Structure 1
Amino acid sequence: MTAAEVIRYLALVDRRMFIIEHSGISWRPEYEPELESIDQELAKLRKVIDAEHAKRKEIVH
């Protein structure tokens, strides 16, 4: 996983948490597609993270 991928993953998580934490009463319809887009990108990056974890397990064992 590259440094850019790590930074992107953290930025997406941060934005997702901000929307969820601060939207409440001020929920805007445009948040829904943004959250869907964030979730899709996080899912792709999660595969990269899982692959990195698998590599580490192979090295240790």
Structure 2
Amino acid sequence: MKPGDKAKLTKQTFLHQGIFIFTGSTVEIKEIQSDKAIVIYNDKEGYPHDLEMNLTDLAPIS
């Protein structure tokens, strides 16, 4: 995976700053670090949120 790619969240649904982040949601990879990625998650109203995720919590979209 590289910046600009789309990925699917495999992590169980969780709450982040008052926003539910749902398993199976599509995110866009913004930045890759050694074992983490910064991803852009769009909430149900369409507002973008930057999240730091482990690479193991992301799956490529086939």
TM-score (norm 1): 0.20
Higher share of residues assigned strand: 2
Choose 1 or 2 for highest CA Rg: 1
Q: Give the alignment's TM-score, normalised by structure 2.
A: 0.20
